[in-house]
Structure 1
Amino acid sequence: MVNIPRGTQDILPGYVEKWQYIEEKARDICKRFNYKEIRTPIFEHTELFLRSVGETTDIVTKEMYTFEDRGERSLTLRPEGTAAVVRSYVENKMYGNPTQPTKLYYCGPMFRYERPQAGRFRQFVQFGVEALGSNDPAIDAEVIALAMEIYKSLGLKKLKLVINSLGDVSSRKAHRDALIAHFSPRINEFCSDCKSRLEKNPMRILDCKKDRDHELMQSAPSILEYLNEDSSVYFDKVKSYLTDLQIDFEVDSGLVRGLDYYNHTAFEIMSDAEGFGAITTLCGGGRYNGLVEGLGGPETPGIGFALSIERLLAALQAEGIELPVEERVDCYVAAIGDAASSKSVLLVNELRKAGLVAEKDYLNKKVKGQFKAADRLQAKFVAILGDEELERNVINVKNMETGNQEEVQIEQFISYILEKSH
């Protein structure tokens, strides 16, 4: 027997309907916010992620699935969605479209080679949005509001929004110099990753999982102390818009997104549900001015987020929320006899063409076995057709909820089920 690869999962019938429900809900909300779907390849040139995600990030240094194709080109299974969306934005010159900003969403599998644990897989599904072309703090608030709306529309209540500002280029440089001065004297007490990050990207040290309890982490200079006036005003406007939208938030100066392309607004949405687990983050995002230029496009601001469907499902479970997933069959056609069985093929097809969920027996079961099958499918109606009924051009329809049974002319059968099903 060949087993499934470690860190992956089969999403089986009976459970996949929950995924479909969540994805449809998220798509509907994106439509209301006027975001359009984009679909990019599952693999891209490795250079894309080196240039965008950042060579000092854990994703690039430890987690990417990279391989050479037959043309000796280095390709990588996408570890996140933003880089590919921005690459497509530049390559397809979407910045030239008359309608701006460009507002996009995506949904699909991502791949990271990391230790599988609860709610974390090597192949996982991300839903994300990107808004490109606007420097208005209002669109930062819109993107955060969209993410919050997805969670709230599914019934989640134990949510915590945490925001921070990573500042503009000059603010980041001032903070960078302060971090180097802070960590340099005792950098030998930190892990090898932190040592390599000190000069390349010292802010990434603050995101280290191994050394998170080191005393220098607690006393590290806050980015908020180094925001220049423009960055402070920008952050104040974002907070003001969130307040106007009645979205509660906390400011956490220690919030550092794990990718190199972020600046200004950064945010995470977490689950406060009891028993959810040690990793509480459901969604993360922020502003990434500079990423479009880094990939060969014109100077273009952008902001976005990505959420994990797996972690969303775990949050729903932690809060005891059952999704209203409809799995019932509208009508099961039970046939007795060869002629009736042949006719049932046509009737089931007509039911389906009329927009109903219909099923029949394909295992030559007796009528009792067919009724058991209808019960397992939670059929609303069972239509019983025997050779005798066929000769009289009628069919018996049983309402499985009330137990009532009616004899219906075959010509009226489809319209009868349609009327009674709604």
Structure 2
Amino acid sequence: MSQLQSLRGMVDLLPEALQRWQAVEAVAREHFQRSGFGEIRTPLLETTDLFCRGIGAATDVVGKEMYSFQDRGDRSCTLRPEGTASVVRAALQHGLLSQGAQKLWYAGPMFRYERPQAGRQRQFHQIGVEWLGAESARSDVEVIALAWDLLARLGVGGLELELNSLGSSEDRQAYRAALVHWLEQRSEALDPDSQARLSTNPLRILDSKNKDTQALLKDAPTLADALSPESRQRFEAVQQGLTALEIPFRLNPRLVRGLDYYSHTAFEITSDRLGAQATVCGGGRYDGLIAQLGGATTPAIGWALGMERLLLVLEASAEVDPEGRAAGLVAASLPDVFIVNRGVQASAAALALARDLRGNGLVVVLDDSGSAFGKQFKRAHRRGARWALVLGDDEAERGELRLKPLQQSGEERCIRLDDREALVAILKSL
């Protein structure tokens, strides 16, 4: 019988890697709490119509990448491909917006049928924030600063903020018409994917990865040319706010977000730690989405970062700066104590000892193999424990144990087994 394997693009998170994830999530959770954002958790499975209406039927996500199926009630269901639409649906369903503006954050798995590659899987994980009811340019600045400061606090190096304005829906309609007219005259020079998008989602052509198409687009009309005076003024206010906070940015007139619900401010934060500029975080304003999903017209802004890509960037940042914050986050968590024990009496005493030490806040590994002390000491060194506590039946009969430092200099010593207060003080002393 063949061995079962996970589906392609569905990756197991093993304990060592998961420790790094949890360290990042802990920093993010504290960061959001300090800024007044409350956590929300939404179902992995939603009605397909939520994403068709929210993301846009013409997008690649809806057209090519969603995991959708009919359930036993003959309802079309989809594993969520992103977090924003679900958060908005939950806010509307539970009447949160009637209580005023909502600052929310989420974390969890998303699903898209894409070609798996480093930092991108078919089940991937995001951390994101949504500020529903936020209208001012200052709220744009605050949300961008929230992302920038989180990445800096995590120790991500080589950061760059790219900024653009998508304008109002009227601005985009005018720009879309001008762009389509310009591209139709040059459609034969476009790559096949861009030719297909010309009639469905022409703005997505702007971030085509095809080099020939990008060269052609250098002379294309820009969104900046189509912005109304009000949109220009708003975008200027966002830039002034970022400058006041000393957050550097670069204007990128070709930056568009891949989902239909975005408007006005759009941004991406990249890092050069993977050898090329890799997008770590992206987001923007989406003032039309809540109305599209059945609510009142309500302004909103948010962003999301991909955990898989972020962990790769953190590991690369740790290599550049082994003493920096990123290195501390991705470093393996090491036990304080490894209890080497063998024998009937020793095993019983070791179990009670381990329980007491854990109750005093120490991380304790209790060897349960019963193998020779030499093999247990090798395991203790491999685990990186700071101390080894040695208990054999002889020590148990005498009511003592041997205490051996593993990561620092010092002599092995004996200590009374029942003198837990002195033992804990020694183990926490270094």
Under a length normalisation based on structure 1, what TM-score does the superposition of the two structures give?
A: 0.93
Q: Match for residue 398 of structure 2?
A: 392
1:126 maps onto 2:133 in alignment: no
Counterpart-to-counterpart distance in 2, 1:158 and 1:211: 24
Cα pair 2:16 2:332 within 8 Å, conserved? no
- Say which is worse superposed, 358-367 or 251-260, in terms of deviation: 358-367
Counterpart-to-counterpart distance in 1, 2:123 and 2:242: 33
1:369 maps onto 2:375 in alignment: yes
Alpha-carbon distance, 1:211 to partner: 7.5
Superposition map of 1:22-421 within 5 A: 22-97=24-99, 100-187=100-187, 189-190=189-190, 194-195=194-195, 197-210=197-210, 213=213, 216-273=216-273, 275-277=274-276, 280-319=278-317, 320=319, 321=321, 323-324=327-328, 325-400=331-406, 401-413=408-420, 416-418=423-425, 420-421=427-428
Counterpart-to-counterpart distance in 2, 1:212 and 1:102: 44
- Say which is worse superposed, 160-169 or 402-411, in terms of deviation: 402-411
Counterpart-to-counterpart distance in 1, 2:171 and 2:125: 34
Counterpart-to-counterpart distance in 1, 2:195 and 2:367: 66
Q: 1:240 to 1:41 in 2, by over 3 A?
A: same
Q: Which amino acid aligns with 1:131?
A: W
Cα pair 2:343 2:370 within 8 Å, conserved? no
Q: Which amino acid aligns with 1:276?
A: G
Alpha-carbon distance, 1:251 to partner: 0.8
Cα pair 1:276 1:315 within 8 Å, conserved? no
Counterpart-to-counterpart distance in 1, 2:211 and 2:180: 16
Counterpart-to-counterpart distance in 1, 2:272 and 2:400: 58
Counterpart-to-counterpart distance in 1, 2:338 and 2:42: 40
Cα pair 2:67 2:78 within 8 Å, conserved? yes
Q: Which amino acid aligns with 2:314?
A: L
Alpha-carbon distance, 1:65 to partner: 0.9
Counterpart-to-counterpart distance in 1, 2:214 and 2:149: 37
Counterpart-to-counterpart distance in 2, 1:377 and 1:192: 53
- Say which is worse superposed, 20-29 or 71-80, in terms of deviation: 20-29
Q: 1:402 to 1:215 in 2, by over 3 A?
A: closer
Q: Which amino acid aligns with 2:128?
A: G
Q: Which amino acid aligns with 2:66?
A: M
Counterpart-to-counterpart distance in 2, 1:252 and 1:150: 22
Cα pair 1:111 1:122 within 8 Å, conserved? yes
Counterpart-to-counterpart distance in 2, 1:120 and 1:290: 29
Q: 1:330 to 1:286 in 2, by over 3 A?
A: same
Q: 1:419 to 1:298 in 2, by over 3 A?
A: farther
Alpha-carbon distance, 1:410 to partner: 2.5
Alpha-carbon distance, 1:10 to partner: 2.3
Query: 1:29-68, CA deviations, whole angstroms, 9 ceiling, x for partnerless residues?
Result: 1122221111111111111100001111111111111111
Unaligned runs of 5+ in 2: none
Q: Which amino acid aligns with 2:140?
A: D
Counterpart-to-counterpart distance in 2, 1:212 and 1:127: 34
- Say which is worse superposed, 191-200 or 15-24, in terms of deviation: 191-200
Alpha-carbon distance, 1:2 to partner: 1.8
Unaligned runs of 5+ in 1: none
Q: 1:372 to 1:300 in 2, by over 3 A?
A: same
Q: Which amino acid aligns with 1:26?
A: A
Alpha-carbon distance, 1:184 to partner: 3.0
Alpha-carbon distance, 1:94 to partner: 0.8
Counterpart-to-counterpart distance in 1, 2:392 and 2:180: 84
Counterpart-to-counterpart distance in 2, 1:11 and 1:353: 28
Q: In angstroms, what is the RMSD of aligned CA positions?
A: 2.1
Cα pair 1:191 1:211 within 8 Å, conserved? no
Q: Which amino acid aligns with 1:286?
A: G
Alpha-carbon distance, 1:291 to partner: 0.6
Cα pair 2:341 2:370 within 8 Å, conserved? no
Cα pair 1:276 1:314 within 8 Å, conserved? no
- Identity within the alignment, %: 43
Q: Which amino acid aligns with 2:418?
A: E
Counterpart-to-counterpart distance in 2, 1:124 and 1:253: 28
Cα pair 2:340 2:366 within 8 Å, conserved? yes
Q: 1:404 to 1:75 in 2, by over 3 A?
A: same
- Say which is worse superposed, 147-156 or 230-239, in terms of deviation: 147-156
Secondary structure class of the residue paired with 2:302: strand
1:14 maps onto 2:16 in alignment: yes
Under a length normalisation based on structure 2, what TM-score does the superposition of the two structures give?
A: 0.91
Alpha-carbon distance, 1:339 to partner: 1.2
Query: 1:356-390, CA deviations, whole angstroms, 9 ceiling, x for partnerless residues?
Result: 11122211112222222222222222222233333
Q: 1:196 to 1:213 in 2, by over 3 A?
A: closer
Q: 1:127 to 1:214 in 2, by over 3 A?
A: closer
Query: 1:307-351, CA deviations, whole angstroms, 9 ceiling, x for partnerless residues?
Result: 111111222334425521352211222223211211211111122
Query: 1:186-214, CA deviations, whole angstroms, 9 ceiling, x for partnerless residues?
Result: 44554565455445543233233458626
Query: 1:104-143, CA deviations, whole angstroms, 9 ceiling, x for partnerless residues?
Result: 1111111111112222211111111111111111111111
Cα pair 1:140 1:238 within 8 Å, conserved? yes
Secondary structure class of the residue paired with 1:411: coil
- Say which is worse superposed, 146-155 or 82-91, in terms of deviation: 146-155
Q: Which amino acid aligns with 1:384?
A: V
Counterpart-to-counterpart distance in 2, 1:157 and 1:96: 40
Q: 1:399 to 1:118 in 2, by over 3 A?
A: closer
